[in-house]
Amino acid sequence: MKIALVHDYLAQDGGAELVLRAFKDIWPEAPIFVLLYNKEGVPGFENADIRESFLARIPFAKKHYQWFLPLMPVATEHHDLRGFDIVLSSTSAFAKGVIVDPDTVHICYCHTPTRYLWTDTHDYISSLKYSRLIKVFLPRLLHKLRMWDRLSAERVDYFIANSHTVAKRIQKYYGKKSHVIYPSIDTHAFSALPHNGEGGYYVVGGRLAAYKRFDLVIHVFNRLGWKLKVFGSGPGWWKDIKKNARENIEFLGRISDTEKAELLRGAKGLIHPQEEDFGIMPVEAMASGCPVLAYKKGGATESIVEGKTGMFFIEQNWESLYEALLEFDKKEWKREEIREYSMKFDIENFKKQIQSFVEEKYRENI
């Protein structure tokens, strides 16, 4: 079975890249096709056979890849995937649009239908710090991309969704059924002992983007005066929020995986105020024995057991978060039970499910 892996682009590290690393572990000899690859920004692929599109040869493309959005569909279609039995794409945007041989089986692991084309279009446009002129023409570009995105979904033989939340979106926007396999983490990289929650602080962090609503958390902890540690880095809008934070809030910037594991182990809880397609961070917290207070929408509702591994707040505003946090702080959490529950999301289980699914579909189509 000759297999190729396809990913949107390796420009920044996140949950999608964790999935791709798992694919690479299963099929280490498989080439990985991407639009472009930033070696400094995405560790773990130094020895992989990475094959970039023509975008990688354009000056400034790797640093400012967002500028080249109109070229990404045609660059994706230029990937040469002739001669492969299986193409396994990992995508939230373009990779599912590759063109393959008639006898090739294309399986797509979909993190979500493209957010800025479907679920978050209006928020995406309003949050961009571009001129009004660009925002006038942007909807026309997104309209064309939306048509291509819908068409590209027809090129997929089998969809795998990373959650039931995403499976519903795939059905709604692409009209396709999908099989759900939750993304996973290396639970052995985290530990519930020692120092369970003894740090006396709460944690929020990850890739700092506007939709994650970390501004709500800052507002609440400004009012409470409780200790909060924030990790991660993001765009310019984050600087404005940081200016408004009081001295009880500490900004750690980018941290290593080892530092993150230690941070979660010592935290009283992780705050997860956003709607995610699945959400790796709550699982990492639970693997550290750390309970999670999450917005009750999206993938968090599938990974968190209310009252056992965490709690939810209902409305995505600071008042709802504030009230839930007061209740959350009073509860005595059984951290070993939280850690034990997280084992269902271990990376080895994920690899077995993915490999089994791919091999099954290959046999069916021989």
The structure tokens listed for 316 are 């995505």
Mean pLDDT, the chain cut into blocks of 10 residues (366 residues total)? 96 87 96 93 89 92 85 96 97 96 97 87 60 66 93 97 95 97 86 67 86 91 96 69 88 89 94 92 94 95 96 97 96 93 91 96 90
256, 277, 294 from 135: Cα distances, Å: 36, 26, 33
pLDDT at 117: 87
Shortest CA distance to 341 belongs to which of 306, 295, 314? 306
Q: What is the dihedral of CA 279, 149, 164, 301, to 10 degrees?
A: 40
Separation of alpha carbons 301 and 312, rounded Å: 8
Domain ranges of the chain: 3-184+347-364, 187-345
Separation of alpha carbons 28 and 109, rounded Å: 18
pLDDT at 236: 57
The 8-class DSSP code of residue 51 comes to E
Could you write out the DSSP letters of every residue in 54-92? GGGGSTTTTTSGGGGGGGHHHHHHT---TT-SEEEEEES
Separation of alpha carbons 292 and 244, rounded Å: 25
pLDDT at 256: 87
101, 111, 257 from 27: Cα distances, Å: 20, 20, 24
Residue for token pair 């609503």: 213
How many residues in total does the chain contain? 366
SS3 for 261? helix
Separation of alpha carbons 330 and 321, rounded Å: 15
State the helix-helix crossing angle for 15-26 and 347-364, rounded to 10 degrees: 60
Strands (DSSP E) found in 181-265:
201-205, 228-231, 249-253
The structure tokens listed for 114 are 């493209």
180 CB-contact burial (10 Å; exposed 0-12 / middle 13-18 / buried 19+): middle
Class of domain 3-184+347-364: alpha beta
pTM of the full predicted structure?
0.85
The domain over range 187-345 is classified in CATH as 3.40.50.2000: yes
**Which amino acid, one-letter code, is at 19?**
V
CA 355 from centroid of its chain's CA atoms: 21
> Is-contact 228 247, C-beta < 8 A?
no
Fold match between domain 3-184+347-364 and domain 187-345: yes
> Is-contact 7 26, C-beta < 8 A?
no
